[in-house]
A and B are shown apart, each in its own frame.
Chain A
Amino acid sequence: MKYIELKTSLLSHIKDLKPNDFYLLEGKLIFKLKSNADIVKKYLQDKDYKVVQTSVRNWEHWQGKYESILYFKDLEKESNG
């Protein structure tokens, strides 16, 4: 699975989630608001994905602030070719 496919799917299935609510950083989804990360995490877990949630180190050289990171532990059934 590619990021753009995942993002498109999440945006089409989760009401009120906007394109600028989260981005991709080194393979992980990084969210401006933890509340949105919580919603996405629940949505993915309901689909049986193993999802890890962590806090964010916000760097001085970043323009914005972020509250939460999500990443997958096992996408065996998916393709990223």
Chain B
Amino acid sequence: MKAYKRNLDAIDHTQNRYEDKQFLHMHPYDPEILETVRDDFLKPRTCKEFIEWIDTHPHYDVVAEASSQYIRGTSKAQAFWQVADIDADWQTINNDITNYCVENEVDTKFNTDYTEEWRIHEMEEQKTYVPFRHNSELDNQRKHGFEKQYQLIEVTLTDVFPMLKRIEKLFEFEWAKTDINYQPTSGAFPRHVDFLSTGFKRAVEHDPSIANARYNPLTKCPDGWVLKRILIPTDHWFPGQMFSFEEHNWTDWSPGQVIDFNWAHCRHATANTSYNARPLVKITGLVKEDHWIAKGEYRKFSI
């Protein structure tokens, strides 16, 4: 099989800029439009066909909303759940993150703009980790006043956080990518669902068997694989820090808790109305269906 390579230059992003109001959408979304887009989303596609479809879709934000099959009333246990505990020197890890943020003015220069501006690393350093943040999604969020969301410190691209890379390896994800999702005071990221596209796209580009696998629009994963994103706080919860999954809330977290969640269907949102920054390690990758985390098992780790 021949490797699939996306032609990023062929994507026309101009129609997504928020200067062009024609392509922005009012909330709440029109239910009939959502149903039409959902029907399109459910059409059979291979993974590479799906990536091309969504990459060039001018209304990413509508596709994302339509991709959720969540039914209100679903239990908390189906929204998010703890999969592991990691015993580590979290105080040192958290101090390293805090110092990095001070040095890089992460808190003081806090404004979530286009990808080349809101990530800590320059785009040139991200050649094999093309960030996926479709402009139509960001445009709509900014249009509604969400201009300070969070900052992404891309652990995978640095040698600054060796302990976090050790933690990443505990989970044996393929196509793993680890970031610190660092939300300074006053940050708010509006409710959304994910596609976990950054790692998924790398897998599609480098593994022809995944590129040609069927994309399952209900799991939002390649057939035979499970896309996973786990969240690990490096600091204790502070009053005013919020993390919601639809009608359920995660609170009072502790360093080393590992949370898995229904990223594909549960609208999730964060806000930091405390006076302490809120760092979370976020590890994303692919596992096979027989991986312990895909089976919903729980593990304890010590490093």
Contacts and interface: CB of A to CB of B under 8 A. Distances in A.
How would you classify the secondary structure of chain A's contact residues: helix, strand, loop or mixed? loop
Interface in B232-272: 246, 262, 265, 267
Contacts of B145: none
B71 A26 contact: no
Contacts of A16: none
Interface in B188-242: 218
A3 B68 CA distance: 8
B35 interface: yes
A17 to B, nearest CB: 15
Q: Which 8 A-B pairs have the closest CB atoms?
A: A72-B73, A27-B72, A2-B69, A23-B31, A61-B26, A71-B72, A75-B73, A3-B69
Contact of B265 (A2, A50, A74): A2
B31 A27 contact: no
A25 B31 contact: yes
A24 B34 contact: yes
5 contacts: A2-B218, A27-B246, A61-B26, A62-B31, A80-B262
Interface string B17-30: 00000000010111
Interface of B: 26, 28-35, 38, 42, 68-75, 78, 218, 246, 262, 265, 267
Contacts of B33: 63
B144 to A, nearest CB: 14
A81 B69 CA distance: 10
A63 B28 CA distance: 12
A50 B71 CA distance: 13
Interface string A59-81: 10111101000011111101111
Given A26-B267, A75-B75, A59 B70 contact: no
A27 B78 CA distance: 14
Contacts of A24: 31, 34-35, 38, 69
B34 A25 contact: yes
A28 interface: yes
A30 B71 contact: no
A20 B218 CA distance: 21
Contact of B42 (A1, A4, A61, A74): A4
In the complex, which range does the number of interface residues on chain A fall in? 20 to 34
A30 B28 CA distance: 12
A23 to B, nearest CB: 4
Contacts of B265: 2, 80
A28 B31 CA distance: 10
Contacts of A80: 69-71, 74, 78, 262, 265
A75 B210 CA distance: 34
A52 B42 CA distance: 28
Given A61-B26, A80-B71, 18 more contacts: A2-B71, A2-B218, A2-B265, A23-B34, A24-B34, A24-B35, A25-B29, A25-B31, A25-B34, A50-B73, A61-B30, A63-B32, A63-B33, A71-B73, A73-B73, A75-B75, A78-B78, A80-B78
Contacts of B74: 1, 72, 75, 78, 80
